[in-house]
Amino acid sequence: MKVFDSISGLQQYLAEAKKKNRTIGLVPTMGALHKGHESLVKRCAAENDECVVSVFVNPTQFNDKNDLVTYPRTVESDCALLEAAGCTAAFVPSETEMYPEPDTRVFDLGPVAAVMEGPRRPGHFNGVAQVVSKLFDIVKPDKAYFGEKDFQQIAVIRRLVQLLAFPIEIVSCPIIREADGLALSSRNTRLTAEQRKIAPVIARTLNESLALAPKKSVNEVIAFVTDTINRVPGMEVEYYEIVDGYSMQPVTDWSETAYPVGCITVYCGEVRLIDNITYAN
Ligand code: PAF
């Protein structure tokens, strides 16, 4: 595996690969890699000749500066995981390499970015669009891989691809979970031992709610999930919405969508955890 910290170094390497008609896959990450990322990298490596993984904690997508400061940074162990998972080129740029001057671009991300995480994390999706579009321009991959834990983010990336006409296939990959159901996240490392014990209630409750739909109304299912989790001391649901899995718009009746997805954000102490589940319809 080659490791690049400069855009020009990576591009020289990729130019050689492209001359040989090698296909290129990209997995954008912010590091602190875990088995969820590993599954993306393995899939990317299996489906492409070159598997490029970027490791960059993107400052422009953090609406909470404390979150940026405390975001885990583990570059050495990240590189070991990447090499073992089949990454051929790791791209680990500095902030000035990615943003030699402030990125002032504002993207029209449309309705998919206007709900759930959008209004609650102002500027977040625009920051994601800034860094992902930059990575797409640098790498020019054939395919790019994203995890479904950040379900709304995938819809935003698809919108970005459409907006800027990137000739890139977006591959969405299933959530990887701990044995007790907790969705893998770099933020899980911030949970105390006590919080780690209670955090699986999120996935457990979402799973239990599958049995309620569609016998119960959308609102009843939302109330079940929210109340069950809020009853656990130390947990507070920020929102639970059932949306159409393509448009991200909330539904009030199961008949409004063929693809109902429940998206949740929960504060476990200070740690903001997200998860989602697809209901059969
Ligand atoms: O999902 C993430 O880790 C980030 O939002 C991404 C896509 C790597 C952009 O910084």
Model pLDDT, residue 128: 98
Q: How far is the CA of 57 from the centre of ligand 1 (A)?
A: 8
27 ligand 1 Cβ < 6 A: no
**Is 37 an active-site residue?**
yes
Per-residue pLDDT of the chain in tens (281 residues, 90 and over written 9): 999 999 999 999 999 999 999 999 999 999 999 999 999 999 999 999 999 999 999 999 999 898 899 898 999 999 999 999 999 999 999 999 999 999 999 999 999 999 999 999 999 999 999 999 999 999 999 999 999 999 999 999 999 999 999 999 999 999 999 999 999 999 999 999 999 999 999 999 999 999 999 899 999 999 999 999 999 999 999 999 999 999 999 999 999 999 999 999 999 999 999 999 999 97
Angle (CA) 228-232-234 rounded to 5° is 135
Q: Are 140 and 161 in contact (CB under 8 A)?
A: no
**Any atom of ligand 1 within 6 Å of the Cβ of 60:** no
Which pLDDT belongs to residue 124?
Answer: 98
Q: How far does residue 31's CA lie from ligand 1's centre (Å)?
A: 9
Q: Looking at 37, 121, 149, 190, which residue is catalytic?
A: 37
Nearest-angstrom CA–CA distance, 18 and 24? 8
Question: Strand pairing of 260-268 and 271-278?
Answer: antiparallel
Question: From ligand 1's centre to the CA of 183, what distance in Å?
Answer: 16
Q: What is the pLDDT of residue 254?
A: 97
218-225's contacts with Cβ under 8 Å and 24+ in sequence apart are 218/242, 218/251, 218/252, 218/253, 218/254, 218/260, 219/252, 221/262, 222/262, 225/262, 225/264
Burial of 66 (0-12, 13-18, 19+ CB in 10 A): exposed
Supply the pLDDT for residue 151. 98
